[in-house]
Amino acid sequence: MSIEIAPRIVVDQAVRFGRPVIRGTRVPVAIVVAKLAGGMSVDEIVTEYDLSVEDVQAALHYAAQLVADEEFLLAA
């Protein structure tokens, strides 16, 4: 059973070991973000992984939320 954790982003223990994926696919959010970071264009990702531009944007938005919610404790 998949659970939507963000718009267009779901987790399901039976898919990719419960890692966040684009809804209706087996494409992990981490792959989409890594491909963008590696220089692939949104259009290339859309074509290669059969996603929509909105799917790629949803992956970026989800990743941005994770980073924004991260807390660090710095020791001096």
pLDDT of residue 66: 95
Architecture of domain 3-68: Orthogonal Bundle (1.10)
The residue with tokens 């982003």 is 9
Our CA angle for 50, 30, 68, nearest 5°, is 125
pTM of the model: 0.90
Residue 76 has pLDDT above 90, yes or no: no
Q: In the chain, what are the helix, strand and coil shares in percent, each to the nearest 5?
A: 50, 15, 35
16-27 pLDDT tens trace: 999 999 999 999
Of 32, 42, 35, the closest CA to residue 63 belongs to 32
